[in-house]
Amino acid sequence: MTHRKVALVTGASSGIGNAIARSLHRNGVIVYAGARRVSRMNDLDDLGITTLALDVTDPISVENVVDRIVSETGRVDILVNNAGYGLMGALEDVPMDQARDQFDVNLFGAARLIQSVLPMMRQQHSGRIINITSVDGKVAQPLASWYVASKFALEGLSDALRLELEPLGIQTVVIEPGAIQSEWADIAAEHLRTTSGQGPYKPTADRAAAILTVVKQFSSKPRVIARLVDRAALSRRPKTRYHAGSGSQILVARRFLSDKMIDHLWQVIGEAAERFAR
């Protein structure tokens, strides 16, 4: 059995998760990287990272992955709950089964992984649970009600969890990315188009699409989040929360702005984005 730290990173087939897996590996951590599209993780295989088929909505898949890690290494030190996507569209237009799937991936998926690694972490009297939320976990963006709700929920779940796991020697850390280059914005834009691209919400959807287009151009590299995860995972006394990436400064401003000011800010950002996109 090993003395190197062992990590499981979910959603490692793309964007932020891929960068996190690489960076932890570079820092000497034994990394297990999971996602549904295993073939999209060949680059990680080439680095010597173990890649595994993982669907966070499937309890059997989650159990298989954690069992394999424990049987091969005898421990789990770090869980990075990164798998997630952005369901967009007006609440009135989004079918409830899609809303449930959003929560199943972004919230219950993370919880499933947490439940699965906790027996090992409790036995070790140590462990780090790192939940990737979003700026949208604190500041709502238009036509993203279910995504925003899932990330607000993950923020709240993490706060409660931090308190209940701290006496057991297990730390919970939240990472709040701003806009990051990945597949996220394209998947979100596709939801927006198919769900509310026509009908009464079209003008709001067009504006939200313009914001996504602009935001994409100013997005930060995934490695800025990977660096924060390294700190959350490996520093002796991690902070409770970290944020980075384009636009994440709004989290600081949020503390001083009223709800009405934030609403007005979206109006201003929306108008500017539409001008920019023309």
Ligand X SMILES: NC(=O)c1ccc[n+]([C@@H]2O[C@H](COP(=O)([O-])OP(=O)(O)OC[C@H]3O[C@@H](n4cnc5c(N)ncnc54)[C@H](OP(=O)(O)O)[C@@H]3O)[C@@H](O)[C@H]2O)c1
Per CB under 6 A, residues contacting ligand X are: 10-17, 35-37, 40, 54-57, 82-86, 105, 132, 134, 177, 179-180, 182-184, 187
Minimum gap (Å) between residue 139 Cβ and ligand X? 11
- Closer to ligand X by CB, 52 or 168: give it: 52
- Closer to ligand X by CB, 183 or 263: give it: 183
Minimum gap (Å) between residue 221 Cβ and ligand X? 11
147 catalytically annotated: yes
Minimum gap (Å) between residue 56 Cβ and ligand X? 4
- The residues, ordered by sequence, that sit 6+ positions from 65 with a Cβ below 8 Å of its Cβ are 8, 32, 34, 52, 54
- The residues, ordered by sequence, that sit 6+ positions from 243 with a Cβ below 8 Å of its Cβ are 135, 175, 176, 177, 178, 228, 251
- Closer to ligand X by CB, 37 or 202: give it: 37
- Start-to-end CA span in the chain (Å): 59
Minimum gap (Å) between residue 164 Cβ and ligand X? 23
Residue with tokens 């989650």: 62
User: Half-sphere exposure of residue 61, counting CA atoms within 13 Å on the CB side?
Assistant: 12
**Helices 223-234 and 15-26: crossing angle, nearest 10°?**
50
Nearest CA to 36 out of 64, 63, 56, 59 is that of 56
- Closer to ligand X by CB, 125 or 188: give it: 188
**Residues acting as catalytic residues:** 147
